[in-house]
């Protein structure tokens, strides 16, 4: 995030110095099922709806939004995002798919059923991850702050700073709303943090090391990124940028 934006956030929202949180819960995982995933997809956003995955991919000239069959990884619907835009996080709001871009300071709205463009909206700074709590859109920008947006106007209404037991947690990337919590990938780390949306405190960390061996990642940018929650089935799906696989995982509390 740009220095002036950090300064503006401190001024406008009265952000206090970093505060350490109380003890948090550590989790590991068990793989329930493995699915194929497009190894050319630079995964930036992921969500699950009505049996399908919706995925936003990045890189200039390669960015897209797509609808994917979970079981086979087949892309059944796709819309390319024109260069030079670098696609980032996606979220659903009513009959719209909302997409961020990395450094264009612009987001896009699409018809969820057809992927036809329905508008765009500005925001200051970078766009990283995006999710929805049913009332608000929640956006990450690579810093330790999360922004809350009014989906009717796409204007920012508030923000929180994210802290764990060591202080501020930055590089928050892809987001997912899971049973009243915000789950976030941390860029270049093999873990997911679970965040209290009221306080910004990290309540838990999910250690996903070993999920996809490094030998199966031909690119150094092929990092863990992508969380989707099946609310009806209670399933968690995770993948990464340029990963050949997508995993359904069971989260297990460490003893």
- pLDDT tens, N- to C-terminus, the chain (255 residues): 333 333 333 333 334 444 555 579 999 999 999 999 999 999 999 999 999 999 999 999 999 999 999 999 999 999 999 999 999 999 999 999 999 999 999 999 999 999 999 999 999 999 999 999 999 999 999 999 999 999 999 999 999 999 999 999 999 999 999 999 999 999 999 999 999 999 999 999 999 999 999 989 889 999 999 999 999 999 999 999 999 999 999 999 997
What CA–CA distance (Å, rounded) separates 143 from 162?
Answer: 9
Is 2 inside a domain boundary? no
Model pLDDT, residue 7:
32
Is 184 inside a domain boundary? yes
Is 15 inside a domain boundary? no
H/E stretch holding 48 reads strand 43-49
What CA–CA distance (Å, rounded) separates 164 from 176?
Answer: 18
What CA–CA distance (Å, rounded) separates 67 from 141?
Answer: 24
Identify the domain containing residue 198 by its residue range. 20-253
Cα 154 to chain centroid distance, Å, stands at 18
Is 1 inside a domain boundary? no
Is 12 inside a domain boundary? no
Is 4 inside a domain boundary? no
What CA–CA distance (Å, rounded) separates 7 from 230?
Answer: 38
Is 145 inside a domain boundary? yes
What CA–CA distance (Å, rounded) separates 116 from 128?
Answer: 22
Closest by alpha carbon to 87, among 123, 128, 137, 115?
128
What CA–CA distance (Å, rounded) separates 239 from 222?
Answer: 10
Q: Each residue of 67-90: b (16+ CB within 10 Å) or e?
A: bbebeebeeeeebebeeebbbbbb
Cα 23 to chain centroid distance, Å, stands at 25
* pTM, to two decimals: 0.90
CATH number at residue 124: 2.120.10.30
Cα 144 to chain centroid distance, Å, stands at 14
What CA–CA distance (Å, rounded) separates 89 from 110?
Answer: 13
The answer to whether 184 and 192 have CB atoms below 8 angstroms apart is yes
Domains held by the chain: number:
1
The answer to whether 219 and 40 have CB atoms below 8 angstroms apart is no
Cα angle value 39/42/46 (rounded, 5°): 100
Model pLDDT, residue 218:
80
Query: Read out DSSP for 97-133?
Result: EEEEESSSSEEEEEETTT--EEEEEE-SS----EEE-
Model pLDDT, residue 102:
97
Report whether the peptide linkage leading into residue 84 is cis, meaning its omega lies within 30 degrees of zero: yes
């Amino acid at each position: 995030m740009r220095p002036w934006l950090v300064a503006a956030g401190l001024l406008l929202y009265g952000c206090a110095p970093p505060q350490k949180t109380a003890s948090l819960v550590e989790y590991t995982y068990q793989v329930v099922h493995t699915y194929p995933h497009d190894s050319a997809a630079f995964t930036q956003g992921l969500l699950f709806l009505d049996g399908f995955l919706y995925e936003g991919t990045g890189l200039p000239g390669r960015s897209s939004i797509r609808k994917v069959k979970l079981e086979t990884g087949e892309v059944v619907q796709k819309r390319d995002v024109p260069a030079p835009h670098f696609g980032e996080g996606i979220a659903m709001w009513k009959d719209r798919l909302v997409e961020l871009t990395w450094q264009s300071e612009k987001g896009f709205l699409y018809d969820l059923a057809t992927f036809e463009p329905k508008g765009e909206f500005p925001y200051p700074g970078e766009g990283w991850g995006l999710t929805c709590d049913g009332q608000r859109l929640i956006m990450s920008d690579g810093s330790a702050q999360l922004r809350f947006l009014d989906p009717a106007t796409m204007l920012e209404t508030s923000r929180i700073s994210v802290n764990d037991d060591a202080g501020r947690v930055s590089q928050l990337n892809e987001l997912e709303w899971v049973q009243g919590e915000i789950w976030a990938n941390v860029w270049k780390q093999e873990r997911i943090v679970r965040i209290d949306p009221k306080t910004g405190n990290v309540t838990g960390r999910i250690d996903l090391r070993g999920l996809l061996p490094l030998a199966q990642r031909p690119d150094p940018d092929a990092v863990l990124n992508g969380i989707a929650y099946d609310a009806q089935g209670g399933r968690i799906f995770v993948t990464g940028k340029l990963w050949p696989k997508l995993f359904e995982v069971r989260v297990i509390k460490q003893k």
